[in-house]
């Protein structure tokens, strides 16, 4: 009965139901209004995402999602020639993959609200510290991701949204507006702290609200307890459920 809002992305989406996570916060905001469906795949890139589309968003579905966040790029932007090279997707291909994802979603449902989210900024020092905590002296000497490169991918994501007339969230820019963003918003230079999650939540909630999907104005899926005829509850449910 409830409409579905799908969160489609990589580990930053997969981890969004941890304590303080942006997905869980959306599920709480949309409680009784919409189902927040978690489709996050740690380590995945926009290239891998293409293989999932037909399964996650089958064409001809009678009940496609009303909205989907598409949140890839953090892995695509891993540098060629460094330790996470296998995840690297060239930026032109990243943009083209996002375009194919959007086209598939719109073919699935032309009214689906598709929200493109850029990768967050990268704290290179934080990435190095994280690598050293895992691998000690064997850790890479050069970071496998740079903030500059994440910014290149972010710009392509925002540009594509503009081309296609879709809302976008430029996390890369937004987070860097706050002093100390490196440690405030990022736990290991790449993934989000609770405060970083709060930024994503606020941005996604705002975009959904501005795009005519505000939780506050969507109907409850069953009568609010204040509207129930407690002596004759069957009357309440007969009136409101048929």
Residues near a copy of itself (CB under 8 A) are 1, 14-15, 17-21, 23-25, 27-28, 31-32, 35, 37-38, 40-44, 47-48, 51-52, 55, 86-87, 194, 222, 224-226, 228, 230, 233-234, 237, 241
Q: In this complex, which beta carbon is closest to a copy of itself, that of residue 31 or of residue 202?
A: 31
What angle is formed at CA 33 by the lines to CA 216 and CA 162, rounded to 5 degrees? 70
Q: In this complex, which beta carbon is closest to a copy of itself, that of residue 4 or of residue 176?
A: 4
Is 187 assigned a catalytic role?
no
Q: In this complex, which beta carbon is closest to a copy of itself, that of residue 178 or of residue 220?
A: 220
Q: In this complex, which beta carbon is closest to a copy of itself, that of residue 178 or of residue 239?
A: 239
CB-based contacts of 124, cutoff 8 Å, min separation 6: 143, 145, 146, 147, 189
Contact 57, 105 (CB under 8 A): yes
Shortest distance, CB of residue 13 to a copy of itself, whole angstroms? 10
Q: For the chain, how many residues are written?
A: 242
Shortest distance, CB of residue 222 to a copy of itself, whole angstroms? 6
Burial classification of residue 172, based on how many CB atoms lie within 10 Å of its CB (0-12 exposed, 13-18 middle, 19 or more buried): buried
Active-site position among 11, 31, 84, 187: 11
Tokens of 153: 């991918």
* d(C-alpha 162, C-alpha 181), whole Å: 26
Shortest distance, CB of residue 168 to a copy of itself, whole angstroms? 25
Contact 16, 23 (CB under 8 A): yes
Shortest distance, CB of residue 239 to a copy of itself, whole angstroms? 11
Burial classification of residue 192, based on how many CB atoms lie within 10 Å of its CB (0-12 exposed, 13-18 middle, 19 or more buried): buried
> Which residues are identified as catalytic?
11
């Amino acid at each position: 009965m409830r409409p579905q809002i799908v969160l489609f992305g990589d580990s930053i989406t997969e981890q969004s139901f941890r304590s303080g996570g942006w997905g869980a916060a959306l599920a709480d905001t949309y409680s009784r209004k919409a189902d927040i469906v978690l489709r996050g795949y740690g380590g995945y890139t926009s290239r891998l995402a293409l293989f999932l589309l037909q399964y996650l968003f089958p064409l001809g579905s009678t009940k496609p999602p009303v909205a989907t966040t598409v949140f890839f790029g953090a892995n695509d932007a891993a540098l060629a020639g460094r330790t996470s090279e296998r995840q690297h997707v060239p930026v032109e291909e990243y943009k083209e993959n996002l375009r194919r994802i959007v086209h598939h979603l719109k073919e699935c449902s032309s009214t689906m609200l598709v929200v493109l989210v850029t990768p967050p900024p990268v704290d290179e020092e934080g990435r190095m510290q994280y690598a050293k905590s895992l691998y000690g002296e064997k850790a890479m000497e050069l970071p496998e991701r740079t903030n500059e490169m994440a910014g290149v991918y972010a710009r392509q994501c925002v540009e594509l949204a503009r081309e296609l007339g879709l809302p976008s969230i430029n996390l890369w820019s937004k987070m860097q507006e706050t002093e100390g963003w490196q440690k405030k918003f990022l736990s290991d230079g790449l993934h989000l702290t609770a405060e970083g999650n709060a930024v994503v939540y606020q941005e996604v909630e705002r975009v959904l609200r501005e795009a005519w999907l505000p939780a506050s104005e969507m109907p409850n899926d069953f009568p609010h307890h204040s509207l129930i005829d407690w002596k004759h509850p069957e009357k309440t449910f007969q009136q409101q459920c048929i």
